[in-house]
């Protein structure tokens, strides 16, 4: 690329500095690179920030979700309700346990589970519900909690995208039996790969710590730093190796120190996009709801030059892709918000699912459009994104 080309604008970029570089050297120097003191420090900072009583670091949000459903005793024959528009791993962890994911359509305004449709899906086999706080906007927790309580369901919050998201003054991930966060680089703070399980229950905390570590009765660090270190722990539970390394946690711990800066910058950029796009009537910007703080893991819009329906969605999808291709040609990356597992063949074929059952999830799958958002994104670049968007739609 020559100098005359405008700089590329990626969809996201981690916000790292010298502090992360220095931090990651520490475990390398001491030689303790597996789960150890930095994981402990990262967990502590995470608990302080989210006001969660317990935080347990894992290798990803998916593995935090897997530990959660295992702890809650999910078994073959059970059913779990989840939104039909979410990353596939929300459903996969239910499958891992041999249970059945029961998909619920979403509200097209919030892109989250439609609370009005949940109850009709509850059967005698339903044991739990996994609301997802998609892109950083909390699900309607008042409704979800009321339904969970009424039907004696457990609740695991998929808070993969919800770091820095609050609902009526409480941080996402602190409502359910557990909350599960992701630190993949598409998220506001990152450790490369990584996750966090939050819980307010002491027994869940202890069980989660054991299950992430092969079901061990004590950690490697405890064994190596205490008397009788030659004695192996006991392994009386069927556990997994879902331990975060200290290399990742050293980065995560510094990312926590930057959390306020990162989240404030995302808020500012969201406000700016809202304003710049306010007269683009063919695009719906993310909803702002009273008493919710949107974490803006992603700034996801809906491409809707016409009121979208199952009739016009495939045509509009082609048009949206043309717009995305035009932006890409200008060096601006955009992405579809996320996907709908119900149209992935594994789920569609196994459970005979068709888009007509989940019209809004299908429309969201086909028409969402995420715009670049990261701390380093300048105002000029944001302006350019919006200008090129306008040009792309006007042809
Ligand atoms: C809603 C949702 N759930 C779960 C995950 C899985 O997170 P991870 O990649 O950390 O396993 C993601 C990842 O993007 C997600 O968006």
What's the CATH number where 369 sits? 3.90.1150.10
CA of 171 to the centre of ligand 1 (A): 18
Residues 6+ apart with CB under 8 A from 198: 46, 47, 50, 52, 54, 55, 56, 159, 173, 174, 178, 179, 180, 181
Whole domain around residue 357: which residue ranges?
Answer: 259-394
If pLDDT is split at 50, 70 and 90, which confidence band does 91 have? very high
In a domain, 10, yes or no: no
**What mean pLDDT is predicted for residues 222-226?**
83
**What mean pLDDT is predicted for residues 181-199?**
98
C-alpha distance from residue 54 to each of 178, 180, 205 (Å): 10, 12, 6
Which DSSP symbol is given to 82?
E
- Better pLDDT: 232 or 208: 208
- The best mutation among 62, 295, 296, 364 to test binding of ligand 1, ranked by most ligand atoms within 8 Å of the C-beta, falls on 62
Q: Is 61 in the pocket of ligand 1 (CB under 6 A)?
A: yes
Q: What is the pLDDT of residues 241-269, one digit of tens each?
A: 999 999 999 999 999 999 999 999 999 99
129 with 383: CB under 8 angstroms?
A: no
Q: Which among 254, 285, 261 has a CA at the least distance from the CA of 191?
A: 254
Q: Is 89 in the pocket of ligand 1 (CB under 6 A)?
A: yes
In a domain, 1, yes or no: no
366 with 342: CB under 8 angstroms?
A: no
CA of 160 to the centre of ligand 1 (A): 5
What is the model's pLDDT at position 271?
98
CA of 162 to the centre of ligand 1 (A): 10
Residues 276 and 288 in one domain: yes
Helix boundaries (H) for the chain: 18-30, 37-50, 61-71, 88-96, 115-118, 141-150, 202-211, 220-224, 246-257, 259-276, 313-329, 345-350, 359-367, 379-394
Q: Taking phi first (over 0 means left), then psi (-120 to 50 degrees means alpha), and beta for anything else, what does residue 168 get? A: left
Residues 252 and 263 in one domain: no
What pTM did the predictor assign? 0.96
Lowest-pLDDT range of 209-213, 217-221, 252-256, 314-318: 217-221
Residues 226 and 97 in one domain: yes
Q: Is 161 in the pocket of ligand 1 (CB under 6 A)?
A: yes
What is the model's pLDDT at position 2?
45
pLDDT at 5 over 90: no
Residues 250 and 278 in one domain: no
Q: What is the pLDDT of residues 288-310, one digit of tens each?
A: 999 999 999 999 999 999 999 99
Q: Is 68 in the pocket of ligand 1 (CB under 6 A)?
A: no
Residues 179 and 205 in one domain: yes
CATH number of the domain enclosing 248: 3.40.640.10
Distance CA 348, CA 351 (A): 6
What is the model's pLDDT at position 4?
54
If pLDDT is split at 50, 70 and 90, which confidence band does 348 have? very high
pLDDT at 228 over 80: no
Q: Is 195 in the pocket of ligand 1 (CB under 6 A)?
A: yes
If one counts every other C-beta atom within 10 angstroms of the C-beta of residue 189, the result is: 26
Residues 242 and 338 in one domain: no
Ligand 1 atom with least separation from CA of 132: 1
Q: Is 337 in the pocket of ligand 1 (CB under 6 A)?
A: no
What is the model's pLDDT at position 217?
87
Q: Is 184 in the pocket of ligand 1 (CB under 6 A)?
A: yes
Distance CA 168, CA 22 (A): 37
Q: Which among 289, 361, 372, 281 has a CA at the least distance from the CA of 335?
A: 372
In a domain, 5, yes or no: no
Q: Is 160 in the pocket of ligand 1 (CB under 6 A)?
A: yes
In a domain, 217, yes or no: yes
Tell me the pLDDT of the chain averaged across its residues: 96
Q: Is 87 in the pocket of ligand 1 (CB under 6 A)?
A: yes
Ligand 1 atom with least separation from CA of 183: 10
Q: Is 179 in the pocket of ligand 1 (CB under 6 A)?
A: no
pLDDT at 349 over 60: yes
Q: Is 111 in the pocket of ligand 1 (CB under 6 A)?
A: no
H/E element, 193: none
Residues 212 and 324 in one domain: no
Chosen domain end from 257, 292, 317? 257
Residues 181 and 322 in one domain: no
Chosen domain end from 257, 289, 317? 257
The domain total for the chain is: 2
Q: Is 132 in the pocket of ligand 1 (CB under 6 A)?
A: yes
CA of 128 to the centre of ligand 1 (A): 19
pLDDT at 6 over 60: no
CA of 84 to the centre of ligand 1 (A): 14
What is the model's pLDDT at position 1?
44
In a domain, 7, yes or no: no
Ligand 1 atom with least separation from CA of 195: 10
What is the model's pLDDT at position 297?
98
Distance CA 56, CA 42 (A): 9
Chosen domain end from 214, 230, 257? 257
CA of 180 to the centre of ligand 1 (A): 9
Q: What is the pLDDT of residues 319-329, one digit of tens each?
A: 999 999 999 99
What is the model's pLDDT at position 212?
97
Residues 337 and 355 in one domain: yes
pLDDT at 36 over 70: yes
Residues 218 and 107 in one domain: yes
In a domain, 11, yes or no: no
In a domain, 13, yes or no: no
If pLDDT is split at 50, 70 and 90, which confidence band does 156 have? very high
Residues 246 and 265 in one domain: no
First to last CA, the chain: 25
**What mean pLDDT is predicted for residues 353-366?**
98
Residue nearest to atom 8 of ligand 1 (CA): 61
In a domain, 27, yes or no: yes
Residues 194 and 77 in one domain: yes
Ligand 1 atom with least separation from CA of 62: 11
């Amino acid at each position: 690329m020559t100098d005359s080309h405008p700089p590329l604008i990626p969809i996201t970029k981690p916000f790292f500095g010298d502090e992360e570089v220095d931090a990651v050297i520490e475990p390398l120097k001491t030689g303790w690179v597996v789960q150890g003191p930095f994981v402990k420090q990262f967990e502590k900072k995470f608990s302080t920030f989210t006001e969660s009583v317990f935080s347990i670091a894992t290798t990803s949000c998916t593995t935090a979700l897997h530990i959660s459903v295992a702890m809650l005793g999910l078994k073959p024959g059970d059913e779990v309700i989840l939104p039909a528009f979410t990353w596939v791993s929300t459903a996969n962890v239910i499958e891992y346990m041999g249970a059945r994911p029961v998909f619920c359509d979403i509200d097209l305004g919030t892109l989250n589970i439609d609370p009005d449709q949940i109850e009709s899906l509850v059967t005698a086999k339903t044991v739990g519900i996994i609301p997802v706080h998609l892109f950083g906007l909390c699900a309607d927790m008042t409704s979800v909690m009321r339904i969970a309580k009424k039907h004696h369901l457990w609740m695991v919050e998929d808070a993969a995208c919800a770091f820095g998201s609050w609902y009526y003054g409480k941080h996402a991930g602190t409502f359910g039996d557990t909350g599960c966060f992701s630190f993949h680089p598409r998220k506001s703070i990152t450790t490369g790969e990584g996750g966090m399980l939050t819980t307010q229950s002491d027994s869940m905390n202890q069980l989660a710590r054991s299950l992430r570590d092969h079901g061990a009765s004590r950690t490697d660090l405890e064994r190596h730093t205490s008397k009788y270190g030659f004695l192996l722990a006991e392994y009386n539970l069927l556990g997994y190796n879902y331990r975060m390394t200290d290399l990742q946690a050293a980065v995560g711990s510094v990312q926590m120190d930057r959390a306020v800066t990162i989240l404030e910058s995302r808020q500012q950029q969201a406000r700016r996009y809202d304003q710049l796009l306010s007269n683009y009537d063919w695009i719906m910007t993310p909803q702002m709801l009273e008493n919710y703080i949107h974490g803006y893991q992603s700034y996801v819009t809906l491409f809707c030059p016409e009121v979208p329906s199952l009739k016009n969605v495939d045509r509009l999808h082609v048009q949206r892709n043309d717009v995305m291709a035009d932006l890409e040609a200008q060096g601006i990356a955009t992405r579809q918000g996320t996907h709908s597992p119900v149209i992935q063949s594994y789920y569609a074929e196994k459970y005979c699912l068709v888009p007509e059952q989940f019209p809004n999830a299908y429309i969201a799958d086909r028409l969402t459009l995420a715009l670049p958002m990261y701390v380093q994104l300048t105002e000029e670049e944001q302006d350019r994104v919006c200008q090129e968007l306008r040009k792309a739609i006007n042809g």
